[in-house]
Amino acid sequence: MAHRIFIDGEAGTTGLQIRQRLADRRDLEVVSIDPARRKDADARAELLNSVDVAILCLPDEGAREAVAMIENPDVRVIDPSTAHRTAPGWVFGFPEMAPGHREAIAASKRVTNPGCWSTGFIALVAPLVRAGLIPAEAALSVHGVSGYSGGGRGLIEEFEQAPPASSADAFRPYGMTLAHKHLPEMVAYTGLSHPPIFSPAVGRYAQGMIVEVPVALWALPGRPAAGDLRAALSEAYVGEAFVQVATDLETSQLSRARAGAGGYVQALDPEALNGTNALHLQVFGDDAKGQARLLAVLDNLGKGASGAAVQNLNLMLGLDEGEGLSRP
């Protein structure tokens, strides 16, 4: 018998992408609410309590409201919103984050999807903190660029129009309040004592992102080399299907390949992994200067949202973790 899945908020960007990934699955039955009763609380509650897994593609308040409606103890929940990212009783839905974490997701009734930015940051930093290469008290920063699809309906509609005549508006920094909603999870799941200085930006392209964490190696205990960081990341993700760490040789080849063009690296195109559930990590460094740049490339709607939700769904139902998910 197929598992019944309800995507509450299936018309939004994340919901649509989840449904697309589940479209050809014979082991799942995706059920929908009657459009005429979409705002009927009783109809919504009935459906939420009748399925095996409810996926809440809703604003934070809507996600909390949906969870409060669920009275059936057998219903499992995946919440891609920010509402429960650090809440007690919820498991953070990043299977590759730490040893044993995949099993915690599989056993949980309540799983909260990571944010797209925090997926890249946690993937790069958490293993290095666990290995003792980056101390918990380290002063870190993180920046990068994401496609506008991660900004919600308003930003999508704005960026899909022609840019203002006075400016190409190709690159837009944001988060100037230093209170981005992904910061709490960045601290909670890396082991850091202080939030990083986060300087995100959105580009005039739809999908895909690159996340960068610069590291002053000279300021770290023992002054590790860039290769030490790369080795720790490689060890943390050995055997993972969706997370890949570039080898020393691959990174060296990439660094030299476009030395005559200012060091531009084609593999670090933020759109390179669009449509996949992959997460690619790179470590570039200059040991003489004591500096390194850690970079993560991912699809903000793939491993950063919908793909992660499907990966967690598979784990929670005891299915093949990669079912319905593509790799590059």
- Greatest distance between any 2 Cα atoms in the chain: 65
**Amino acid type, 78:** I
Alpha carbons 116 and 119: distance in angstroms, whole number: 5
Strands 209-216 and 91-92: unpaired
Q: Which position among 116, 229, 281, 310 bears the catalytic label?
A: 116
Residue-by-residue DSSP string for 268-288: G-TTTTTTS--EEEEEEEETT
Residue-by-residue DSSP string for 236-250: HTTT-SSEEE--HHH
Is residue 57 among the annotated active site residues?
no
* φ, ψ of residue 187 in degrees (nearest 5): -80, -45
87 in Cβ contact with 301 (< 8 Å): no
**Amino acid type, 318:** G
54 in Cβ contact with 110 (< 8 Å): no
Terminal-to-terminal C-alpha distance of the chain = 31
**Rounded to 5 degrees, what angle do the CA atoms 145, 149, 153 make?**
135
303 in Cβ contact with 93 (< 8 Å): no
Give the pair of three-digit tokens for residue 255: 């660094």
* φ, ψ of residue 316 in degrees (nearest 5): -65, -25
| CA dihedral sign, ordered 190, 195, 196, 201 | positive
Residues identified as active-site: 116
